[in-house]
Amino acid sequence: MSQSLLYKGVKQRKASESRPATQKNIDCIQNAVEEITGHLHKEEDIWRSLKRRDRLAAKPSVFLWKSIHQIHKIGKFWKTIPELTERRMPCDVCKVEEESMEHILLECKATGQERVWKLVKDLWHEAMPKYELPYLSIGSILGIGLLEIIDSEGKPVPGATRFLQILISESAYLIWLIRNEWRMRREQDPTKIHSRKKVKARWKAAIERRMRHDKILTNRIAFGRKALSDKLVEATWAKAEHGVRDVVWSATLNQTTRFSRLRDGMSRRGVLVGDERERCPRGRNR
């Protein structure tokens, strides 16, 4: 047998294996999205939505993919390591016997999730007052790539849809990062939980960083056909001024003015949270 044929056989065997944990999350996502949109999506639609790099950044996308497969080292994972079960499996702050992704993203008092979702709701109502923010559940968060904002005529709104998917995916990933920092670097010390002020600063920095990234990706000279549409990026961020001191794009600005302002903004220090350190280190790898 050839290596190619053997590889195909391995892939077919893996595809036929049952994945109860993954299937449970797939069902949860399908039900949550159907309840919001009225449309039942297939499983392949869920995986395909995670590959939309024009909407979901790489790290949040990988985080969602792993969460659907339940391969993060949380909860039940530590049952197989008896010496770490009592320390790693429960959430001592919330007195929960088994930590889960739903608990981390929507319930835990140590991950800053309550503060993050409050900031998300405030920014959404400020930037998109015409549209209602979908109900946030573990299913709608993991399936955020399938959610769309529909106008009064039943047509999708690309700018609002993209803003929703970016906002939720970046916020969920930030909650996961804060949880990991507290669990690992701060050794789950209840006195070292991230403050509300710190969570807010981290969230603002994450959203602003994504906005800057979008602006850069509109450069057709650098990215050619892969460049993002100016109109789409403008529709995404035009009204999202909450906590951002930079000039938000205007439809009257030309490409040269836009990128000159972008460069000026990136060269300033302490744009968002008052950090006086330089944005890029000197020398190599800058």
Residue ranges of the domains in the chain?
A: 19-244
Q: Examine the pLDDT at 181 and tell me if it is beyond 60.
A: yes
Q: What is the pLDDT of residue 1?
A: 81
CA distance 135 to 58: 24
What mean pLDDT value characterizes the chain? 85
Whether the predicted pLDDT of 170 surpasses 60: yes
**Range scoring the smallest mean pLDDT among 128-132, 195-199, 247-251:** 247-251
| 104/12: higher pLDDT | 104
Nearest to 61 by CA among 46, 43, 76: 46
User: What average pLDDT does range 53-68 have in this prediction?
Assistant: 95
Q: How far apart are the C-alpha atoms of 257 and 265, rounded to whole Å?
A: 12
H or E element in which residue 205 lies: helix 196-216
* Mean pLDDT, residues 48-60 taken together: 93
pLDDT given at position 239: 77
- Asked if 128 contacts 145 with a C-beta cutoff of 8 angstroms, the reply is no
Structure tokens at 230: 């100016």
Per-residue pLDDT, 280: 52
Identify the top-confidence range among 17-26, 98-107, 257-266: 98-107
Mean pLDDT for the stretch of residues 73-89: 90
How far apart are alpha carbons 286 and 232 in whole angstroms?
A: 29
Q: At what angle do helices 58-69 and 20-37 cross, to 10 degrees?
A: 120
Per-residue model confidence as pLDDT tens digits over 230-269: 999 999 998 775 434 333 333 333 443 444 444 444 334 4
**What value does the CA radius of gyration of the chain take, rounded to a whole number of Å?**
21
Answer yes or no: are the C-beta atoms of 205 and 273 closer than 8 Å.
Answer: yes
> By C-alpha distance, which of 105, 76, 110 is closest to 92?
110
- Asked if 68 contacts 142 with a C-beta cutoff of 8 angstroms, the reply is yes
Q: Is the pTM of this model over 0.85?
A: no
The better pLDDT of the pair 44, 12 is held by 44
Would you state the pLDDT for residue 15?
67
